[in-house]
Amino acid sequence: MVDYHAANQSYQYGPSSGGNGAGGGGSMGDYMAQEDDWDRDLLLDPAWEKQQRKTFTAWCNSHLRKAGTQIENIDEDFRDGLKLMLLLEVISGERLPKPERGKMRVHKINNVNKALDFIASKGVKLVSIGAEEIVDGNAKMTLGMIWTIILRFAIQDISVEETSAKEGLLLWCQRKTAPYKNVNVQNFHISWKDGLAFNALIHRHRPELIEYDKLRKDDPVTNLNNAFEVAEKYLDIPKMLDAEDIVGTLRPDEKAIMTYVSCFYHAFSGAQKAETAANRICKVLAVNQENEHLMEDYERLASDLLEWIRRTIPWLEDRVPQKTIQEMQQKLEDFRDYRRVHKPPKVQEKCQLEINFNTLQTKLRLSNRPAFMPSEGRMVSDINNCWQHLEQAEKGYEEWLLNEIRRLERLDHLAEKFRQKASIHEAWTDGKEAMLKHRDYETATLSDIKALIRKHEAFESDLAAHQDRVEQIAAIAQELNELDYYDSHNVNTRCQKICDQWDALGSLTHSRREALEKTEKQLETIDQLHLEYAKRAAPFNNWMESAMEDLQDMFIVHTIEEIEGLISAHDQFKSTLPDADREREAILAIHKEAQRIAESNHIKLSGSNPYTTVTPQIINSKWEKVQQLVPKRDHALLEEQSKQQSNEHLRRQFASQANIVGPWIQTKMEEIGRISIEMNGTLEDQLSHLKQYERSIVDYKPNLDLLEQQHQLIQEALIFDNKHTNYTMEHIRVGWEQLLTTIARTINEVENQILTRDAKGISQEQMQEFRASFNHFDKDHGGALGPEEFKACLISLGYDVENDRQGDAEFNRIMSVVDPNHSGLVTFQAFIDFMSRETTDTDTADQVIASFKVLAGDKNFITAEELRRELPPDQAEYCIARMAPYQGSDAVPGALDYKSFSTALYGESDL
Residue pair 893/903 in contact by the 8 Å Cβ criterion: no
**Residue 781: exposure state from Cβ atoms within 10 A (0-12, 13-18, ≥19):** exposed
pLDDT given for residue 199 in this prediction: 95
Bigger pLDDT: 11 vs 627: 627
267 vs 269: CA distance, rounded Å: 6
Q: Among 593, 758, 606, 760, which residue's Cα sits nearest to residue 682? A: 758
516 vs 520: CA distance, rounded Å: 6
pLDDT given for residue 672 in this prediction: 83
Q: How many CA atoms lie within 13 A of 633 on its CB side?
A: 24
801 vs 806: CA distance, rounded Å: 8
- For residue range 261-284, list pLDDT tens digits in order: 989 888 887 666 776 777 778 878
What domains lie within the chain, and their CATH numbers? 279-410 (1.20.58.60), 661-836 (1.20.58.60), 845-906 (1.10.238.10)
pLDDT given for residue 7 in this prediction: 33
Q: How far apart are the first and last CA of the chain?
A: 58
pLDDT given for residue 837 in this prediction: 65
Residue pair 780/837 in contact by the 8 Å Cβ criterion: no
- For residue range 786-826, list pLDDT tens digits in order: 888 887 888 777 777 777 777 778 788 888 887 888 888 88
- For residue range 210-246, list pLDDT tens digits in order: 999 999 999 999 999 999 999 999 888 998 888 888 8
749-760: average pLDDT: 78
State what percent of residues in the chain have pLDDT above 90.
11
Q: In this predicted structure, which of 74-83, 380-389, 830-839 has the lowest mean pLDDT?
A: 830-839
pLDDT given for residue 31 in this prediction: 38
The structure's pTM equals 0.51
527 vs 549: CA distance, rounded Å: 33
How much is the mean pLDDT over the chain? 81
Residue pair 164/27 in contact by the 8 Å Cβ criterion: yes
191 vs 202: CA distance, rounded Å: 16
Q: In this predicted structure, which of 13-22, 307-316, 651-660 has the lowest mean pLDDT?
A: 13-22
From its phi and psi, is residue 859 left (phi > 0), alpha (psi between -120 and 50) or beta? beta
373 vs 362: CA distance, rounded Å: 13
Residue 185 has pLDDT above 90, yes or no: yes
Q: In this predicted structure, which of 291-295, 516-520, 591-595, 784-788 has the lowest mean pLDDT?
A: 516-520
Bigger pLDDT: 323 vs 853: 853
Residue 38 has pLDDT above 70, yes or no: no
277 vs 75: CA distance, rounded Å: 43
844-872: average pLDDT: 86
pLDDT given for residue 307 in this prediction: 92
Residue 40 has pLDDT above 50, yes or no: no
Q: Which helix (H) or strand (E) holds 896?
A: strand 895-896
pLDDT given for residue 192 in this prediction: 94
596-602: average pLDDT: 63
pLDDT given for residue 521 in this prediction: 54
> Residues 870, 871, 877, 878: what is their CA dihedral angle, to the nearest 10 degrees?
-130
159 pLDDT band, cuts 50/70/90, is: low
3-state secondary structure 624-643: HHHHHHHHHHHHHHHHHHHH
- For residue range 758-795, list pLDDT tens digits in order: 776 676 777 777 777 777 787 777 778 888 888 788 87
In eight-state DSSP terms, residue 527 is -
Q: In this predicted structure, which of 149-163, 373-387, 406-420, 547-561 has the lowest mean pLDDT?
A: 149-163
Residue pair 486/564 in contact by the 8 Å Cβ criterion: no
Phi (first) and psi of residue 734, to 5 degrees: -60, -45
pLDDT given for residue 604 in this prediction: 57
Q: Tell me how crowded residue 31 is: count the other CB atoms within 10 A of its CB.
A: 21
198 pLDDT band, cuts 50/70/90, is: very high
